[in-house]
Every structure is written in C-alpha cells, then in structure tokens.
A and B are shown apart, each in its own frame.
Chain A
C-alpha cells in the first residue's frame, strides 16, 4: 500500500482528526506496531486502561480501531498511517497478532456470507411490479404538476414557499421514486435571486420531463439506457450482484475527492480516470455522520491498481471498486488535445443520454486567461472555455501556471468546467 504523508492527511475526516493524528505519529505513542503485505496494525496507549487496537486492511483498503471515536479514520488510524508513511522501517513486526488476523478473517467470511445469501426471485418480481405501479402513479401526478407550472408561467414561481416543492418531493418518495424526488428538490433549490434563474430552472424542469418520457417508453429502449433511466427514477442497483461482474482493470488515478453533507448524510464523490482505458469514473460513498463509517479509504492524488465495475449505462460513469486493489504512484497519462475534443466527446455523450451529470476530463496544455472580467482556460488551438462560476482555486491554479500551459484534470459539462488538479513539474497537484 502506498502511503505518503500528504495522502494520509487527505484521508482525515476533519481538521481536528488531522491535528490529533499528527500528534500520534511518533514511535513513542505506540506500544506495539507491525505491518505485512495484508495489514498495518498498532496498539496506542489512550486515556483508558487498555491500549487502543488500530488496524488497516491494506488489500481491501479498510480500517478499524477499538477506540470509541466515530470518526473514520480516527486519530489513531491517521497517526498509525502517518507513522508508517514517515518511518516504515520502524514497523519491524510482520506476524499479525490474533486481534488483527481475526478481523481480517472475519472480513473475508463476511464476503462469502454475502455472496451465499439465497434470493427469492418470485417475491422479488412481485415487489418490483408493485413498485413499478407506485412509480407510474407518482409520475402521472408529477406530470400534472409540471404542466400546471408550464401553463401558468414562471413569473410567480419564486414566490412559492418551500412546501410547494417539498410536498411534491415527498409524494415522489411515497411513490418510491427517490431519484425524481431529488430532481424536484433541486428544482426548488434554484437560486431565484440570481440573474437568469429562469434558464437553470427550465433546464432542470426539462431534465425531469426527459427522464419521465424515457421511463414511460422504457420497454422500447436498449438495456443500458433502461438501467440508466431506472437509476434516475430511483431504482437501486444491487451492488453485490454488480461486484460479480467483470470490470475494467486499469491504473485508476484518483483525481479528486468532493465531500458534501446534508442532514448528517455525508456523500463522498471520488473522480477517477483510467490510465489505459481512458475512462472516467465516479465512485460514491455514503455514511451518516457520527453513526456509520465509510467502507473504504481512498486518498485523492494517488492511483489505484485494480478493477472497477461500472453501473450499467449507455455512457457509464458511476462505478464501484472491486477489491482487492493496491495503491500505486500516479502513472503517466495523456489527456485530450484541447476543447474541440472535449466538446466532440460531450456531443457524443448527449447523443446517447440527454440527461447526464458532469464528468472529468484530462486536457493537455491549458492556460488560465482573463477575458471579459472572467477566468477562462485556453487550449493550444486558442479555444477558450469559461471556468465554472464561483471557482475558488483560481489563484492556486494561476500560481502553478505562471501564464504557461498545464495539463489539467477538469470536471464539467456544457460551458462550465472546474479544474480538479494540475500536473506541475511532473507531479499532480490537487486544487
């Protein structure tokens, strides 16, 4: 497992953990510690009578500590990994103690258990049929609501209270169409105080309409598109079944990690890019703050050598990691030549799926430039694309560039791109 100080610090859930973890990254804090090809472990004397047992599954990138902290990884985990990153030589013990080997074997058993669980296909089909009916009823109601909006016009829309949006979103939740509920909430969250809110509002309204239209004609569509539409409506994909499928083996660059929190639900979005396959991927991880823990530890700015299984879609993006994977140094990648290639790719993607989210690209030789009081990225062919409104890391990007072109990892669609990182003097710098 490749662990550098920067990457370990990137794993810390918050500032407090990072600082507390740094304080524990000294050999004196650890009563025992060891490492082998499978795991990393150590015992740290805390405030309790017994030392805390901290362990990291290197192969499946998982973590456990006996301390009462609900943070993931906790300060002991950060401290142990930092110490390993700094002073690998001091981890002389290679035979894991019982508490480590038991944990590793339990994890292995759990995997087998999961795969062996029998499935009642009849019951499953009945449940699905009932749900489809609920969804169809919900969609009919949503269509009436949307047509009312279109008939009455948007002028009064900003005056609608929260309940107007929330009631319809809840109706969609009742109809077991959580995807549509989310899209309705996004519609209600339009910034009605910003100039041009009508455009973004209409865009979102039409996206909902397109999903509904696609779903109502789903039988006539190709299987991947069916799956994509079902996911947009809110049908979940069985991830265990997905893991059984063959994925794409590659060296996956972790271009960026974005964390958002809503009502204590933490969403981590990891943007990946395959060195050989040149495929972009989005790995999502959800957990409830202070209650559950995320499954995997991925640090942005490094690469994973392993297999990714994509969710079925005509334009696959969301994926899950098929363990085991190993962390490796960032491999060399070549990006797209310029904006023409990006926009051609975007056109091809829209051709297959008009409702889609932003995706990452790696583009060679981009220079930040100022034009019309706005920052843009200029390619080698002197084509310009504006930076996403409100992009906050422009100064760091500009400092790295110094007016010279850089290879950049970008996230965006249409005419809104946000740099995630840039290659500078041969190393990838997160932005």
Chain B
C-alpha cells in the first residue's frame, strides 16, 4: 500500500494520480468518497487519502512473531562481582577519565579475584582496544560476560593468552622478546635452548634483539654457545655477544683480561711504612681479542695515560672479589692497594662498575659508601629498599634522572623520596604536568596528600600552578584510596 502512495507522490499528481486500488480494501469506502468528491482538487484528494493511509499504517503496527530468534545466554560467572564501594570507585575513575586509576582498579579487582559490574564492561573493553597491554586484565575482570560479549562485538574478541610456546613461535618480535624475558627470569637454560633452536632461522637484526634478552640471568652455561657466535657475520650480533661474554667470568675474554691484569699489576710494599701499593707494567702488545672485544687502546683524555685507561677498562670487567684472592686481602685492603698507587687512584669507579656488572652487592655497597660519585647503574642493581635511600642521597644532583628512574618503578614510593620529588616538581611546575601525576598515581603514596601544601614554591608565579596541581593530585589520591579501601578486605 505504502509503496503505491510513495510512487504516486514521487512522480507527482500532475503525472500520476492515486487510485482506489492503490489502497487496502479497508479504506475502499473512504477512497470512493474522497475520489468522488469533485470539489477537491487531485492534490487535496491525494493528501486526504495518504493521511488516512498513514494513520491506518501507524495504528496497525504489530510486533514480529518469531520463536526461532534466540540468543545464547551468557554462562554463569565463577568469580564474585565487586562490592558497591568498588563500583563507586570505578564509576569515579571512569567519570574523571583517569586511565591510570582505571588500570589500578582493574589490577586491584583482578588481584582480589572479583569481577567488574556488567555495565562497565563496554567501557573497559573499549579502552582495551587502544591499550593492548590492558587486554589480559580486561579479560580477567570482565569475566565470562566479557567473553560472551566478544561473540557479538568482534573488536572485543581479544585473543585469550596463547601458550608461551605459541607466542614464541608465532608472535611479533616484541612478543617474542617478552616471552623470552619471562622464561629467562625463571628458567635461564631453557630460554637459551629456545633461542638456539630457532637461531638459524632468525635474521641478523632479530638475533641481535633476542641476544639482548640473555642479559637477564646471564650464566656460565651460556658461555660455550655464545663463544661460537663470535664468528657471526653481523657486527650487531658480535657486539651483543661480546657484551654478554664480558659479564661472564668464565668466558675466555674475561679470563684473557684477568690474565693481562695479573701480568700488569703486582702487589708491592713501598716506602718506610711498607705501604701497600701496586707495581704497574702493562704487558703489551696484548691479545688481539682484547681490542676486538671493544677495549679502547688509546685514552681520549690527556690527563689519563693510555696504560691507565686500558687497565681501567679491564678492571670494570673483572669481578671485584677476584682481587681479594689475588692480593690476599679483604675488600678494604683491595681499595687501599688501588688508592695508594698513583696510576690506579681513580679506579674506585671501575671497581664499582664491576660490582654492578657482576651483581656483587657487598662490593657495591662498600664502593657506594666510600665514593662521592653517583653510579647511575647502581640504582637498578640495588635491592628495592636501598634504591630509594641511594636516590635520596643524590637527588639534588640528578633530580630529573631520579624522577625518570622512579617513574619506571612498579612499587609505591616511600614518603621521603616522594617529598623530595614533589618539592622539586613544585619548583619546576612546567616540566611535569597533570599528565605526569595521572600516570604515576600507582606510585604516589596516599600519605603525601596531607603534605602537598608544604611544598608550595616560594616564587609567587608558581604558587597558583602548584595549587591547581595539588588539587588534582588530591583528587587522584582520593580515588586511589577509595579503590584500596574497596578491595582492602580481600587483600
């Protein structure tokens, strides 16, 4: 019926007129009456009848009856839903658009083995489309309902995490590096074997990238295989191999370094007081491998002789404990030997770098205690509780390095270092904006919230900015506290 009416008006009543047959039988009598009324022009007749038909259509709407259309019901959840308090905390985090807090909420929810309320699933899934690293968490907190929704919305049908082996075999380079890193953490030998198995199929760039992963838990069992890689055609692969071998004491190169050092440095007692010192006589020409392995033979500084420069470099690759045995003394005795010899007075730093390289904590702690220099790499080598104390000691000297280091941590900062960090940021308000705090909300301790005003900078021009930043941080911390509280009973 409606098509007839539409076709008539499409052409226009000047060309086509509506007929009784165009209308349903129920309107026939009315059609007769209207079309028979010659006082009405054809346009009015059309509008009259079409209006009647419109209401006929509107009034006769019924729903489609079809029992075959069904929808599979989502499976029951195994885990419980989160509490109303957690609901409110997630609602606030989403409402404030704070991605870091939403992530924090998901982590807390997943750790508590609870589920996000169903109404938030679309938001969490949509966010995980953009942020790939959120997907596993989203899958966990969205439970079976989320998985079920993925059937209808392909964008949410995130792949369930594949097995480690599958990801290693078929993943992207980045994924493969992740798999290898995690395997290397727990099973170093197996990680090496996996790499050996695929080695011949990898290209040079991939080989170099994957070799870097072996830095994690590098061990003496790696040495035989690594030494075979020194003949690889790729310079990048060779560099990475040298880098690895130079931190493995049983490798031939370290042994060669040590041999040269032992030949060049001998303990002696000099002067009236029989002061412990070292006789230095560099035994050159040295093994060719020493230069091949990256040791520079010429000093770039006029104040440092070539001999001292070579010895300095070699010392950074020798486990500090070896000196104790060689010089037949304890750690402090070793330091005395070096400090009492003109050529090696500045070698504390080399010993420090060696302690970091070989993860000799006792040596590292001694060097850090004795040295006024800041060892950037030492921060990573120290246990977590000592990292902040060391960072605090050198914060003023290297504030931006410390902030970068702290922002990469996955633990909540202690109050003393947080105070230093906030004090510095308050004085430099344009370098770190709200975005920085949004990202670091997981690291910021709640207790700092009560002290923010005390960091107000003296410079009046910065005070308003810090005040605004303070308000923003407080909002973040309030929401973080609510998330902590909501999941606290399950922790």
Contacts and interface: CB of A to CB of B under 8 A. Distances in A.
A384 B66 contact: yes
A399 B118 contact: yes
Given A354-B54, A398-B152, A198 B10 contact: yes
Interface residues of B, number: 55
A346 interface: yes
Interface string B1-40: 0100110011111110000000000000000000000000
Interface stretch (A146-154, A171-179, A270-278): A146-154
A94 B330 CA distance: 77
B88 A5 contact: yes
Nearest to A431: B119
Given A150-B12, A150-B47, A429-B119, A206 B54 contact: yes
B74 interface: yes
A127 to B, nearest CB: 31
Interface string B105-142: 00000000000001101100000000000000000000
Contacts of B121: 395, 399
A9 B93 CA distance: 13
B73 interface: yes
A351 B59 contact: yes
Contacts, number: 158
Interface string A355-383: 00000000000011111000010110111
Given A23-B471, A154-B10, A402-B145, A343 B62 contact: yes
Interface in B37-92: 41-44, 46-47, 50-51, 54-55, 58-67, 69-74, 88, 91-92
Interface residues of A, number: 61
Nearest to B65: A383
A399 B9 contact: no
A203 B471 contact: no
A151 B43 CA distance: 6
A88 to B, nearest CB: 16
B475 interface: yes
B149 interface: yes
* A5, A203, A347, A402 — most chain B CB neighbours (10 Å): A402
A104 interface: no
A210 interface: yes
A145 to B, nearest CB: 11
A153 B9 contact: yes
B5 A343 contact: no
Interface in A290-342: 338-340, 342
15 contacts: A5-B88, A22-B95, A22-B96, A22-B475, A23-B474, A151-B14, A151-B43, A155-B11, A202-B5, A202-B50, A206-B54, A207-B54, A383-B65, A384-B64, A395-B153
Interface of B: 2, 5-6, 9-15, 41-44, 46-47, 50-51, 54-55, 58-67, 69-74, 88, 91-92, 95-96, 118-119, 121-122, 145, 148-149, 152-153, 471-472, 474-475, 478
Task: Sort A-B residue pairs by CB-CB distance and give the 6 closest, nearest first.
Answer: A153-B12, A339-B63, A383-B63, A402-B74, A403-B73, A147-B43
